Structure 1
């Protein structure tokens, strides 16, 4: 198994070193990290290079486009399995080990769980629980959404956050991969899941594939706005890229 970890990044110079440090501290370090600089106007790319990580560039704005470019680059370099996280996230030290275990168990698409980072802000207990609650609420709406329920799908809808997701190279190519869209247009992770569901039932979410996510969007949008954003982009804030 040749595993690569793809990290799309836009203006993350202040925090991407923490993400790359968390990857260096993985229990299973048998993987290749790759940063996709998505048109940053700060020093994101240089920070990543200073951390010893390969950086490629995608000028078309959007996590879908950046992730697709990174994954296809990795596949061209021999990757057989791909994982993705975001440049404001901290994968738990057993993240890659548990991703590998999920693949060994026969899954071709693996989703994980998001937990709140506690190093950015001083969080109250209820705030620490909000990110999982928001994700679970969005997952429920995803299951009942008419567009996610069709005889063409080979299994039930499962929400898989893009910040903790992994897929085999073979399945990625067969399903067409992430849509090359901006974050405002659609949830690229939802579209990837539905593309996969048309081809196979070998996908699932694992509770031990954990990434600690930034709460800055929650702080900026508030609870109701964040729920609306994750459920279906009903909330259209003026500022999408929260920094």
Structure 2
């Protein structure tokens, strides 16, 4: 495990590797995410940046323990004390860019990418040079928050949300927004678009904002949704908010922390 990425001497082939950023805050089950990344077919060619967003529990130590138990997995632990997935992810992405990675993926600490996730990301960018940002399909994680029917609920809700946001903003860029737990971007596009806004969930959705900016800057086809790029993610926020309030949360950010009680889950 490397906790000081600035001091690392990278192998000549680093530009053929993929970085994955995982923002975490009080994640008791972070080992599930890390184990899903460990089981990727090209895990030996991954570097994982886990960005601890000032957890108040032992999340960072859990990550270090996992890294110690699996020394073949390249894990870097970073700390970002400014609250928010936007701030945490931006810290991780910019470190990965500084370390020379041309493509950076992201998933979250309550999510599990399928076994071909990283390989599909590499292949998409290799086969489609005009694509700058890629997202995929979200399915419910079979954790303690799972309920029967969640697969249909999640799929339908994401499609509906894209349509509603595009209509609200009168901007087709929102029709292809990607979810933060299942995405990858070219480093050059990330920098050109300004990266993730260093915001918290009670302010903005940094993943949706970045998707729209890349689409506007590079064109609609620069964002690709690969239905076979699958990540299972927890329904815990839906269980806490409720489906209706989740919709209002995304469509009317100004109400967060006012009419809508913000849930500090990352």
Deviation at 1:195, TM superposition (A): 1.7
Total equivalences in the alignment: 236
Counterpart among 198, 206, 210 of residue 230 in structure 2: 210
Q: 1:54 to 1:227 in 2, by over 3 A?
A: same
Q: Which moved more, 1:208-217 or 1:101-110?
A: 101-110
By how many angstroms is 1:193 displaced? Answer: 1.3
Shift in Å at residue 172 of structure 1?
0.8
| 1:206 shift after superposition | 0.9
TM-score by length of 2: 0.83
More displaced, 167-176 or 192-201? 192-201
Structure 1 runs, 4 residues or longer, greater than 6 Å off: none
Structure with more of its chain in helix, by fraction: 2
Contact 1:71-1:82 at 8 Å conserved across structures: yes
Whether 1:118 aligns to 2:122 is no
Q: Which residue of structure 2 aligns with residue 63 of structure 1?
A: 85
Q: Which residue of 1 aligns with 2:217?
A: 199
Distance 1:200 1:242 in 2: 32
Is the 1:142–1:159 Cα contact (8 Å) retained in structure 2? no
TM-fit CA distance, 1:146: 2.5
Query: d(CA) in 2 for partners of 1:197 and 1:147?
Result: 14
Cα drift, residue 164 of structure 1: 0.6
Instruction: Name 1:6's counterpart in structure 2.
Output: 21
- For the 8 Å contact 1:7–1:85, the answer to whether it is kept is yes
Structural RMSD (CA):
1.8
Counterpart CA distance in 2 for 1:170 and 1:116 is 31
Equivalent residue for 1:17, pick from 13, 31, 35: 31
- For residues 180 and 174 of structure 2, the distance between their equivalents in structure 1, rounded to whole angstroms, comes to 18
Verify: 1:44 aligned to 2:62, yes or no.
Answer: no
Measure how far apart 1:220 and its partner are. Answer: 1.2
Q: Deviations over 1:184-227 (max 9, x none)?
A: 11110111012212321222111011110101111111221222
